[in-house]
């Protein structure tokens, strides 16, 4: 309920000043502030953190996670969750890599196929969730299992190497920044615009917020859910291409724990797990923040053994700051 | 209102814990992994700074002195010369390394003709799942179990149960407690690997260079043992080597890539080399160095932008040839240290066959292992595969696994 | 498969006993039980090694830890919450126990108690933040998933605890009255949890919270206290499981139990507990737990390898819920 009051306030606050204030006080603002704070603290302690190469690397390594987190945000906003994304990335990256080493295969096909197979897997998940009404956590747990086992069955875990040089999309740079960073930026903006301004995008919030109300206002939750899971599949597909084209060889197993990283990014980004609120911009910022934390902690010599604990604490702090902010805002609006 | 106060206190506490970060910051490099097990660094090579200092000859507490200390199965049927069914439970399935050991086992089984071996195991290197797998195969009733332990202590109870059920147990790659198996095929001693790695690194960066380590996880027993042996060997033989830090990368190529990038950015030209400690970490680290354009310049085949000798970063590590082939072929990686895992799997099956046939007994000092010839018994109940193997540009084309 | 035969034999409605039976059989747990029996029958046809007391008991030994953590998880999921940090609490408490004994020289008995204390405290912290600060459970436990695991790593500096005295293994590796010792604990805990959930005001409060938290609060249920209690309980059970696990495996390391939370959640949701809250039962959870393990075991004994087994289990997880959904919808049971 706090979220609806906030968004109501957002709409009733015209003027650039108020807009700016809202921007700073929104979750995006909180994340930007945390990020700025981190950059200042770590940058002062070790200026090498601020080197262009390091910033570029942080952005590069955030990209594939951020793209997947965009899809995850949509899923979570619709009131669902997808635990199978890590396994999907593993499977799609392997498919892409396998295609790229087929002699005579144009390289764009190996980029395109994951973008088709991804939504197809998403459609299966979506169908089970939307039409057969199986909870998304069950479907995606099952899917994860099927994809993980299936991948090893199919490949025997043999790594893929000798991909043609032109395949390695993620290793290209444009204007000094790696290509995946542009993907991350463009997709974040497009997805944000879609979800905020188009009716089909708004419908996701409606379904996540209140299914009955959505139904009454003429939105079919089933269609919306199908669309959300297929959209997620598409994002995971793009993410997997960025993932696969980054290296000289592809590890054809499922990277363990990847789904947790993606879900954490979406959730820290302010996507309420209860559905109905959040933005993908927050998710992308959160991905960058989490990556910068992981990177920055090494720069300031945090004991490697305590690194995970410090990361966990910082995640908690970020979440708490956001929570207190929301609460204060809600109090202000009420009062 | 009390709620507000409460949350404020919590926030302060959390902020404090963050401020506490410098307190837990590492002030000196030390390596405490590997359970404080004793280390035994090998002799320094000729010309190493530490070679002169190692005056007292290290008395080696090993070899013939040790009595057989393995376990024995209870009431195992006599199947000498008959067909036996074996199961191989590696740390995890679906990685190049254990695909290679599995391949070697199939080769041995084919040669012997009276052995059937299947490989099955968890998809993650997880001791809990591995124990469950072995448990199932005991119930299923195989004649022998080959294993590579995710944890030396954790795997032992279930292996003892296997022995009690009359199943022969032989380990390879990663050991259990000695009495929980009959024999262990040792691919190379920890100190041998450590020496090979440090020597390879020194050959590239010189005895006063500086390096960092990208390992899989601090809790991985083999990797931790290697690192502590490397630490001991480096201190003994190359006291001026600068050990920068060690970072984790799970079994995730991408994470290894990211961590290496971070190290490269952090130390810049102050870091001369990186160790990739696992077959997943190594290619990830190599990719990071290659994509940063920091491959060593003195290779004719290098098609990467050659930096000057100063800023080049050497990469040394353990991996399988296929995973490292692109880097070795373009000269980015000069040497890959590893025993031949195909031979390791091959030897494990031969050892098992010899145990079942009764030709390898606690009194034996060597065992016949097909194309590998005779292998020596060391440390009481271990069979040594041989010194570690170094793959280079010249020989890597001969291997496909 | 067994499910399709069922409606025909239960067409009679006049007899009260039959209709009662019908209600039991057609309940979520009933359907799941039938699926389990069907699976066992098929698996026992695949191999004669499967359906033996020894094998079955041994399999249950392997899932005791997951089972113990699944009990509080059932409560939590019924309230509409979740606890993703159980695997990490499990790892942290076991590590603290090991190192208090190994490094700090505490008596092992005291270290074992501390194992439960640490687990309980960790769970209590989760609960405190959830009820007092209002952090959504998923977010809170996602953060502590990383935090507690990180603490385990930091405390142990990645070393393992090992070399426990022989009596320490009694619980994890030996038998008591012919049954693996730890199974007694699971059995007793499951019975208590089942009674508490089904027969006490506390249990009814849990369901009420899951159905309508605001309503539950207005009807005088101490919602916050109950929530705090179940997350603390979850931490305690994770600590207990950590102890039993260490006793079974005879060593522990900071990374033990990574990813265990998903196994726990899988058992609970397969057992028919709705992830949206409001419904579920301990009986269902236990059947879910056993079904997954027996499938793993039976398929393997039947000669199907691990990778294929994962695929089949994933499919069955979805199918079982699907079948149950269809049956419940047809009979209007849900």
Render pLDDT for B62-75 as a digit per residue (tens, 0 to 9).
444 578 888 888 88
Residue A119 pLDDT level (bands cut at 50, 70, 90):
very high
- Both B316 and B193 in a single domain? yes
List, for residues A308-333, the tens digit of each pLDDT value.
Answer: 888 788 778 877 777 777 677 667 76
Among C60, C67, C32, CA closest to C238: C67
Contacts of B218 in chain C (CB under 8 A): 153, 157-158, 254
Interchain contact B9–C (C-beta under 8 A): no
Q: How far, in Å, CA of B347 to CA of B184, rounded?
A: 10
Q: Is residue B355 part of a domain?
A: yes
Torsion of CA B56, B57, B60, B63, to 10 degrees: -160
Q: Is residue C307 part of a domain?
A: no
Helices A307-334 and A2-11, packing angle to 10 deg? 60
Task: Report CB contact under 8 Å: C255, B219.
Answer: yes
Q: Is residue C35 part of a domain?
A: no
Among C291, C70, C86, C293, CA closest to C194: C70
Across-strand partners of B276?
Answer: B214, B317
Q: Is residue C300 part of a domain?
A: no
Q: Is residue C182 part of a domain?
A: yes
Residue A150 clears pLDDT 70, i.e. is over it: yes
Q: Is residue B359 part of a domain?
A: yes
Among B331, B209, B225, B201, CA closest to B276: B201
Sign of torsion, CA B364 B367 B368 B373? negative
Q: Is residue C113 part of a domain?
A: yes
Q: How far, in Å, CA of C233 to CA of C196, rounded?
A: 13
More confident residue, A154 or A121: A121
Q: How far, in Å, CA of B125 to CA of A38, rounded?
A: 34
List, for residues A179-222, the tens digit of each pLDDT value.
Answer: 999 999 999 999 999 988 888 888 888 888 777 777 777 788 89
- Both B183 and B214 in a single domain? no
**Closest by Cβ to C308, choosing from A138, A153, A319:** A153
Exposed / middle / buried, residue B196 (Cβ in 10 Å: 0-12, 13-18, 19+):
buried
List, for residues B218-227, the tens digit of each pLDDT value.
Answer: 888 788 888 9
> Looking at chain B, which subunits does it touch, using at least 3 CB pairs closer than 8 Å as the criterion?
A, C
Using DSSP's 3-state secondary structure scheme, residue A256 falls into coil
CATH number at residue B94: 3.40.50.2300
Mean pLDDT of chain A: 84
- Both B331 and B344 in a single domain? no
Q: How far, in Å, CA of A291 to CA of A181, rounded?
A: 14
Listed in sequence order, the DSSP H helices in C103-222 are 108-128, 137-156, 170-173, 181-199, 201-211, 213-218
A35 to each of A42, A57, A296, C200, how far by Cα in Å? 10, 16, 11, 49
Confidence at residue C4, expressed as pLDDT on a 0 to 100 scale: 41
- Both B211 and B239 in a single domain? yes
- Both B102 and B158 in a single domain? yes
Helices A307-334 and A280-299, packing angle to 10 deg? 140
Total domains in chain C come to 1
B280 near B309, Cβ under 8 Å? no
Residue A7 pLDDT level (bands cut at 50, 70, 90):
very low
A66 near A220, Cβ under 8 Å? no
Q: Other C-beta atoms within 10 Å of C176: how many?
A: 13
- Both B364 and B316 in a single domain? no
Q: Is residue C171 part of a domain?
A: yes
Interchain contact B128–C (C-beta under 8 A): yes
Listed in sequence order, the DSSP H helices in chain A are 2-11, 16-25, 27-45, 52-77, 85-100, 107-130, 136-155, 179-197, 199-209, 211-216, 221-244, 258-268, 280-299, 307-334
Residue A128 pLDDT level (bands cut at 50, 70, 90):
very high
- Both B96 and B167 in a single domain? yes
Name, in order, each residue with C-beta under 8 angstroms of B219's C-beta and a sequence gap of 6 or more.
B33, C153, C158, C160, C253, C254, C255
Average pLDDT over residues B81-96: 88
Query: Which tokens belong to A209?
Result: 């917020």
**Closest by Cβ to C253, choosing from B93, B120, B151:** B151
Q: Is residue B5 part of a domain?
A: no
Sign of torsion, CA C11 C16 C21 C26? positive
Q: How far, in Å, CA of B185 to CA of A119, rounded?
A: 47
- Both B206 and B297 in a single domain? yes
**What is the b/e burial string over B355-386, where b = at least 16 CB atoms within 10 angstroms of the residue's CB?**
bbeeebeeeeeebebeebeebebbbbbbbbbb
Average pLDDT over residues A148-177: 85
Task: Report CB contact under 8 Å: C259, A257.
Answer: yes
More confident residue, A263 or A18: A263
Query: Which tokens belong to B83?
Result: 């067909």
Task: Report CB contact under 8 Å: A298, B252.
Answer: no
Task: Report CB contact under 8 Å: B252, A255.
Answer: yes
Q: Is residue B52 part of a domain?
A: no
- Both B348 and B315 in a single domain? no
Residue B299 clears pLDDT 60, i.e. is over it: no
A299 near A48, Cβ under 8 Å? yes
Look-up of token digits 């590998």: B372
* Dihedral pair phi/psi, residue C178, rounded to 5°: 80, 0
Residue A257 pLDDT level (bands cut at 50, 70, 90):
confident
Q: Map out the domains of chain A with their CATH numbers.
A: 46-298 (1.10.3470)
Q: How far, in Å, CA of B254 to CA of B291, rounded?
A: 13
Residue B20 clears pLDDT 90, i.e. is over it: no
Percent of chain B with pLDDT over 90: 27
Confidence at residue B304, expressed as pLDDT on a 0 to 100 scale: 43
Average pLDDT over residues C197-216: 92
C254 near C100, Cβ under 8 Å? no
H or E segment to which residue B215 belongs: strand B210-215
B259 to each of A306, B205, B247, C98, how far by Cα in Å? 16, 21, 7, 30
Q: Is residue C265 part of a domain?
A: no
Contacts of C145 in chain A (CB under 8 A): 260, 312
Contacts 24+ apart (CB under 8 A), B48-56: B48/B202, B48/B207, B48/B237, B48/B238, B49/B207, B49/B237, B49/B238, B49/B239, B49/B240, B50/B235, B50/B236, B50/B237, B50/B238, B50/B239, B51/B237, B53/B236, B54/B236, B54/B237
- Both B241 and B208 in a single domain? yes
Chain C residues 223-282 within an 8 A CB cutoff of chain A:
258-259, 262, 265-266, 269-270, 274-276
Min CA distance, C139 vs chain A (Å)? 7
Q: Is residue C241 part of a domain?
A: yes
Residue C45 clears pLDDT 50, i.e. is over it: yes
Average pLDDT over residues C153-173: 87
Total domains in chain B come to 2
Q: How far, in Å, CA of C37 to CA of C41, rounded?
A: 6
Chain B residues 240-269 within an 8 A CB cutoff of chain A:
245-248, 250-255, 257-259, 261-263, 265-266, 268
- Domain housing C200: 65-257
Confidence at residue A251, expressed as pLDDT on a 0 to 100 scale: 80
More confident residue, C235 or A318: C235
Residue B5 clears pLDDT 90, i.e. is over it: no
Among C247, A17, C139, C64, CA closest to B157: C247
- Both B374 and B255 in a single domain? no
**What is the b/e burial string over B71-87, where b = at least 16 CB atoms within 10 angstroms of the residue's CB?**
bebeebeebeeeebebb
Task: Given the cut 0.90, state whether the ipTM is greater than it.
Answer: no
Listed in sequence order, the DSSP H helices in B238-294 are 253-267, 281-291
Contacts of C144 in chain A (CB under 8 A): 312, 316
* Dihedral pair phi/psi, residue C254, rounded to 5°: -60, -25
Q: How far, in Å, CA of C313 to CA of C326, rounded?
A: 20
Among B287, B347, B352, CA closest to B315: B287
- Both B196 and B332 in a single domain? yes
Q: How far, in Å, CA of A265 to CA of B274, rounded?
A: 30
Confidence at residue A229, expressed as pLDDT on a 0 to 100 scale: 97
H or E segment to which residue B335 belongs: strand B335-338
Using DSSP's 3-state secondary structure scheme, residue C92 falls into helix
Among C62, C65, C37, CA closest to C51: C37
B168 near B352, Cβ under 8 Å? yes
A283 near A265, Cβ under 8 Å? yes
- Domain housing B255: 189-338
Among B256, B248, B161, B238, CA closest to B198: B238
Q: How far, in Å, CA of B119 to CA of B16, rounded?
A: 51
A211 near A225, Cβ under 8 Å? no
Task: Report CB contact under 8 Å: A142, C262.
Answer: no
Interchain contact B153–C (C-beta under 8 A): yes
Confidence at residue C13, expressed as pLDDT on a 0 to 100 scale: 53
């Amino acid at each position: 309920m706090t979220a609806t009051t906030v968004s109501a306030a957002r709409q009733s606050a015209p003027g650039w000043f108020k807009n700016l204030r809202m921007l700073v006080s929104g979750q995006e603002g909180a994340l930007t502030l945390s990020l700025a704070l981190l950059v200042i603290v770590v940058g002062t302690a070790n200026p090498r953190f601020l080197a262009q190469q390091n910033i570029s690397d942080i952005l590069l390594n955030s990209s594939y996670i951020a793209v997947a987190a965009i899809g995850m945000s949509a899923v979570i906003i619709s009131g669902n969750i997808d635990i199978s994304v890590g396994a999907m990335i593993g499977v799609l990256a392997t498919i892409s890599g396998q295609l790229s080493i087929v002699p005579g295969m144009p390289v764009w096909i190996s980029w395109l196929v994951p973008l088709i197979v991804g939504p197809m897997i998403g459609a299966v998940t979506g169908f089970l969730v939307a039409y057969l009404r199986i909870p998304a956590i069950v479907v995606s747990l099952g899917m994860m299992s099927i994809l993980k086992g299936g991948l090893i069955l199919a490949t025997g875990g043999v790594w893929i190497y000798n991909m043609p040089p032109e395949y390695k999309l993620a290793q290209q740079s444009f204007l000094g920044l790696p290509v995946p960073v542009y993907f991350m930026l463009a997709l974040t903006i497009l997805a944000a615009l879609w979800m905020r301004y188009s009716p089909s995008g708004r419908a996701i919030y409606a379904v996540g917020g209140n299914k009955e109300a959505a139904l009454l206002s003429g939105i079919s939750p089933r269609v919306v859910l199908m669309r959300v899971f297929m959209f997620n599949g598409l994002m995971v597909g793009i993410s997997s291409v960025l993932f696969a084209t980054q290296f000289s060889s592809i590890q054809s197993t499922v990277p363990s724990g990847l789904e947790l990283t993606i879900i954490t990014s979406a959730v820290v980004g302010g996507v309420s797990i209860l559905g109905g609120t959040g933005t993908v911009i927050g998710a992308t910022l959160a991905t960058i923040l989490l990556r910068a934390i992981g990177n920055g902690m090494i720069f300031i010599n945090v004991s490697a053994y305590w690194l995970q604990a410090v990361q966990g604490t910082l995640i908690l702090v970020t979440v708490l700051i956001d929570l207190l902010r929301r609460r204060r805002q809600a109090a202000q609006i009420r009062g | 209102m009390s709620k507000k106060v409460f949350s404020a206190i919590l926030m302060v506490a959390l902020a404090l814990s963050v401020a506490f970060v410098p307190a837990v910051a590492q002030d000196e490099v030390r390596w405490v992994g590997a359970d404080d097990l004793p280390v035994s660094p090998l002799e320094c090579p000729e010309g190493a700074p530490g070679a002169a200092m190692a005056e007292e000859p290290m008395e080696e507490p090993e070899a013939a002195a040790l009595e057989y200390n393995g376990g024995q199965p209870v009431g195992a049927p006599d199947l000498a010369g008959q067909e036996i069914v074996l199961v191989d439970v590696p740390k995890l399935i679906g990685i190049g390394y254990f695909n290679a050991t599995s391949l070697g086992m199939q080769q041995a089984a084919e040669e012997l003709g009276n052995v059937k071996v299947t490989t099955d195991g968890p998809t993650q290197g997880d001791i809990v799942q591995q124990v469950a797998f072995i448990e199932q195969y005991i119930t299923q009733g195989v004649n022998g179990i080959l294993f590579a332990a995710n944890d030396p202590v954790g795997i032992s109870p279930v292996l003892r149960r296997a022995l009690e059920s009359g199943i022969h147990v032989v380990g390879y790659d990663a050991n259990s407690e000695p009495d929980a198996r009959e024999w262990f095929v040792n691919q190379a001693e920890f100190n041998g690997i450590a020496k090979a790695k440090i020597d390879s690194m020194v050959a590239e960066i010189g005895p006063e260079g500086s390096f960092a380590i990208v390992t899989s996880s601090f809790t991985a027993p083999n990797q931790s043992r290697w690192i502590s042996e490397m630490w001991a060997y480096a201190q003994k033989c190359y006291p001026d080597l600068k050990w920068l830090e060690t970072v984790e990368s799970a079994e995730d190529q991408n994470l290894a890539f990211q961590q290496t990038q971070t190290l490269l950015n952090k130390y810049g030209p102050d870091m001369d080399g990186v160790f990739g400690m696992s077959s997943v970490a190594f290619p990830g680290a190599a990719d990071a160095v290659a994509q940063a354009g920091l491959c060593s310049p003195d290779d004719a085949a290098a098609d990467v932008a050659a930096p000057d000798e100063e800023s080049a970063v050497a990469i040394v590590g353990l991996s399988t040839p296929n995973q490292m082939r692109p880097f070795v072929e373009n000269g980015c990686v000069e040497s890959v240290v590893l025993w031949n895992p195909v031979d390791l799997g091959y030897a494990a099956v031969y050892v098992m066959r010899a145990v079942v046939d009764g030709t390898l007994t606690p009194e034996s000092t060597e065992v016949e292992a097909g194309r590998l010839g005779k292998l020596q018994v060391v440390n009481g109940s271990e069979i040594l595969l041989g010194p570690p193997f170094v793959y280079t540009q010249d020989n890597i084309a001969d291997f496909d696994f | 498969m067994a499910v399709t035969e069922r409606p025909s034999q239960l067409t009679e409605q006049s007899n009260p006993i039959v209709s009662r039976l019908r209600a039991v059989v057609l309940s979520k747990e009933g359907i799941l039980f039938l699926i389990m029996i069907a699976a066992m029958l098929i698996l026992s046809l695949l191999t004669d090694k499967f359906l033996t007391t020894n094998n079955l008991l041994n399999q249950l030994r392997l899932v005791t830890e997951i089972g113990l953590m699944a009990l509080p998880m059932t409560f939590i999921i019924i309230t509409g919450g979740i606890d993703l940090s159980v695997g990490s609490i499990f790892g942290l408490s076991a590590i603290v126990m090991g190192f208090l004994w190994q490094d700090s020289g505490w008596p092992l008995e005291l270290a074992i108690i501390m194992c439960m204390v640490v687990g309980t405290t960790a769970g209590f912290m989760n609960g405190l933040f959830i009820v007092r600060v209002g952090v959504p459970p998923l977010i809170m436990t996602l953060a502590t998933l990383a935090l507690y695991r990180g603490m385990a790593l930091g405390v142990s500096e990645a070393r393992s605890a090992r070399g426990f005295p022989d009596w320490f293994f009694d619980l994890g590796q030996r038998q008591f009255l012919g049954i693996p010792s730890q199974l007694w604990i699971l059995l007793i805990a499951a019975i208590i949890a089942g009674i508490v959930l089904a027969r006490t005001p506390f249990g009814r409060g849990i369901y009420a919270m899951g159905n309508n938290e605001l309503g539950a609060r207005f009807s005088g249920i101490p919602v916050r206290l109950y929530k705090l209690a179940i997350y603390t309980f979850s931490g305690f059970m994770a600590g207990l499981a950590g102890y039993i696990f260490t006793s079974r495996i005879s060593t522990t390391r900071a990374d033990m139990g990574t990813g265990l939370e998903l196994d726990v959640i899988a058992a609970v949701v397969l057992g028919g507990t709705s992830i949206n809250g409001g419904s579920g039962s301990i009986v269902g959870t236990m059947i879910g737990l056993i079904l997954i393990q027996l499938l793993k075991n039976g398929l393997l004994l039947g000669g199907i390898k691990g990778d294929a087994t994962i695929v089949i289990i994933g499919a069955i997880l979805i199918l079982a819920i699907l079948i149950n959904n269809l049956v419940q919808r047809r009979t209007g049971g849900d």
